[in-house]
């Protein structure tokens, strides 16, 4: 699993398998984005969100990964 922000775009190379779910939260814990059934490579524009710390949570059927991202 690789996740990074570059030029205002969140890029995720997902290797968790089928039925993944993505959730992006701000530092206050507010859910900003929720997506299901992700392709292996996902790009999400983040230009409308201010700079700061974000929590990316990726879930599959039997695994959860959490990342802290700084924009």
Instruction: Say which CATH superfamily domain 2-70 falls into.
Output: Immunoglobulins (2.60.40.10)
Q: Whole-angstrom Cα distance, residue 13 to residue 39?
A: 9
Mean pLDDT per 10-residue segment, the chain (71 residues): 87 75 95 90 92 91 87 88
Contact 51, 71 (CB under 8 A): yes
In this prediction, residue 19 carries a pLDDT of 66
User: What's this model's pTM, rounded to 2 decimal places?
Assistant: 0.84
DSSP annotation of 50 reads P
The structural domains of the chain, with segments of one domain joined by +, span 2-70
Q: Whole-angstrom Cα distance, residue 18 to residue 40?
A: 9
């Amino acid at each position: 699993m690789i996740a990074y922000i570059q030029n205002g775009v969140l890029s995720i190379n997902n290797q968790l398998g089928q039925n993944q779910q993505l959730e992006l939260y701000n530092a206050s814990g507010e859910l900003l984005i929720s997506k299901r059934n992700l392709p292996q490579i996902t790009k999400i524009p983040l230009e409308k969100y201010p700079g700061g710390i974000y929590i990316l949570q990726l879930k599959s059927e039997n695994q959860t990964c959490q990342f802290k991202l700084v924009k």
